[in-house]
Amino acid sequence: MSTISNKENLSKKEYSTWTHFSFNLSMVMLPATYGFFSTHFFYFYEKVVLLPVLLVGLANVIFVIWDSINDPLIGFLSDRPTRFTKKYGRRFPFIMIFGIPTVASLVLLFIPLSNAGQSMPWLIFIWMLIWLLLHEFGYTAVSLARALFPEKFRSDKERRKNAGIGIVTYNIGLFLGLIIPFVFVWKSDAMSYFIAVLILTIPCLICFFLGIPGIREEPEMIERSFRAETEPFLTTVKKALKKRNFVVFTFVNISIQLFAALMLASINYWVESVLLLPEGSQADVILMILWFLAGLASVILWIKFAAKFGHKKTQLIGLIATIIVVIPIIFVRSLLGAFIIFTILGVAVGSNTFVKYPVFGDIIDEITLEEKKRQEGMYQGVLVFFDRIGILLQPIIFTVVHILTSYDPTTTVQSPLAQQGILAAMTWIPAIFLLIAALLFWKFYDLTPEKSEELKGKLEELKL
């Protein structure tokens, strides 16, 4: 890792490739736990535990309320300079303390509870809710690593390098959370979910501890954090929601997360009730592998595209490409067709995964210049909150759709109306959100490559 003579001027600082990898390895557990949660949680509690779908939906409504408090609060607390943060940094302690609880709470969500939802539904509901809330708290704390991104990696070159490596580690996390559990989970066997999530924790924790060197905050970063002024929690939240580019970006992320959550949670239902494949076909496993490999292979494509056309155009093209690829899924009824569509989908989704934090970094630069202080933690907390809204809308949409279409969790043979409900939740409902997001981003987001470079120059002058 090379350094520059003036430690305050970090805009030209370059880090080793290992530092970039280590930084992203610390967060592998986030896509891994998200992948497992989004694909198995609703199915597990509705079809294996047999908890009434209204209680599953109610738990997620409470989850959303908790999320609205939890995410900005953690960001705010991590932004506050204290004696403890003077030694270890603002983000690092939170990340280290809550890494293990994040995966442990997921394990406890999937203890064997076969058919228990029928005999003691409210007890199961309370158990589920406790670990849901703890998991969300830990997930948000670990995600503070992303609050370090715009402060640690200051140039577009460094940010694109880190984001390129990040898409690799993100897909590794998805591989862990989507593919490996599918190998061990037998859909009707409650114990298999528990075994799968236990296995998942091992690589998650290994990657987490390998990530420690990358997320350590340097002395100059810690020193700068103590020079930053703090303000009341609600004041900062209100300011965040008045930043046009930030608000547009958060809606884009809600739409992307909702799309991913609905798509991943629907695959079990789609393979079983629309493609009509037997439980032992492992088609869902193959589809996830294709998605994973295609997303991984697209890294170089999107890095080059962003370097040539900028972050804004990369985000916009990614949204449009995802919408176009989603629509044919409505008409696919063959396994070969599913393989083709999911491969193309992996490439399209790869753009959104890659460009998220370079765009976030540009927005933080703009906000920092406006406010004359760095508050990445606060804005990261608000961003994660909106990300999680997209994820949490998935079970709510499932609940409504399954009730309206009379989905029967006790059988694999569903009525034509129930099949259309599965397709709606998987395709055109998220596609509508993505279309609205693309239009808003095109119309209102104004951070062009030229403007972003100008912001970086001004920040360097102000030593921010």
pLDDT recorded at residue 4: 38
The answer to whether residue 445 sits within a structural domain is yes
Give residues with Cβ within 8 angstroms of 205, minimum separation 6. Answer: 29, 99, 100, 103
CA atoms within 13 A on the CB side of 21: 7
The answer to whether residue 4 sits within a structural domain is no
d(CA 352, CA 96): 28
pLDDT recorded at residue 376: 67
d(CA 165, CA 170): 9
pLDDT recorded at residue 435: 96
Domain count, the chain: 1
Domain limits for position 293: 17-461
pLDDT recorded at residue 338: 92
Residuewise pLDDT in 10s, the chain (464 residues): 433 344 445 455 788 889 899 999 999 999 899 888 877 888 888 888 888 888 888 887 787 778 767 776 776 777 676 666 677 777 888 889 899 999 999 999 998 776 677 788 899 999 999 999 999 889 888 888 877 777 788 777 787 888 788 878 887 888 888 777 777 877 778 889 999 999 999 999 999 999 998 888 777 776 666 665 556 656 766 777 788 999 999 999 999 989 988 988 888 889 888 998 876 677 877 888 888 888 888 888 888 898 889 899 999 999 999 999 999 999 999 989 999 999 999 999 988 888 888 898 888 888 888 877 766 666 776 777 777 777 778 888 988 998 999 988 877 788 999 999 999 999 999 999 999 999 999 999 988 888 888 887 787 777 65
CA end-to-end distance (rounded Å), the chain: 21
- Going by C-alpha positions, the residue among 350, 252, 339 that lies closest to residue 297 is 350
The answer to whether residue 12 sits within a structural domain is no
Global confidence as pTM: 0.71
- Going by C-alpha positions, the residue among 428, 429, 431, 408 that lies closest to residue 418 is 408
d(CA 4, CA 7): 6
pLDDT recorded at residue 41: 85
The answer to whether residue 6 sits within a structural domain is no
pLDDT recorded at residue 163: 79
- Going by C-alpha positions, the residue among 249, 323, 339, 336 that lies closest to residue 286 is 339
- Report CA-CA distances (Å) from 443 to 244, 305, 358, 439: 11, 21, 19, 6
The answer to whether residue 45 sits within a structural domain is yes
pLDDT recorded at residue 230: 59
The length of the chain, given as a count of residues: 464
- Cβ burial, residue 462 (10 Å; 0-12/13-18/19+): exposed
Q: State the alpha helices, DSSP H only, in 232-334.
A: 233-240, 244-273, 283-297, 299-309, 311-326
pLDDT recorded at residue 46: 84
The answer to whether residue 10 sits within a structural domain is no
The answer to whether residue 2 sits within a structural domain is no
Q: State the alpha helices, DSSP H only, in 146-189.
A: 149-152, 156-174, 180-184
pLDDT recorded at residue 6: 43
Instruction: Please state at what angle helix 244-273 crosses helix 283-297, rounded to 10 degrees.
Output: 150
The domain that holds 204 is classified in CATH as 1.20.1250.20
- Going by C-alpha positions, the residue among 200, 201, 191 that lies closest to residue 112 is 191
The answer to whether residue 275 sits within a structural domain is yes
- Going by C-alpha positions, the residue among 298, 348, 345 that lies closest to residue 167 is 298
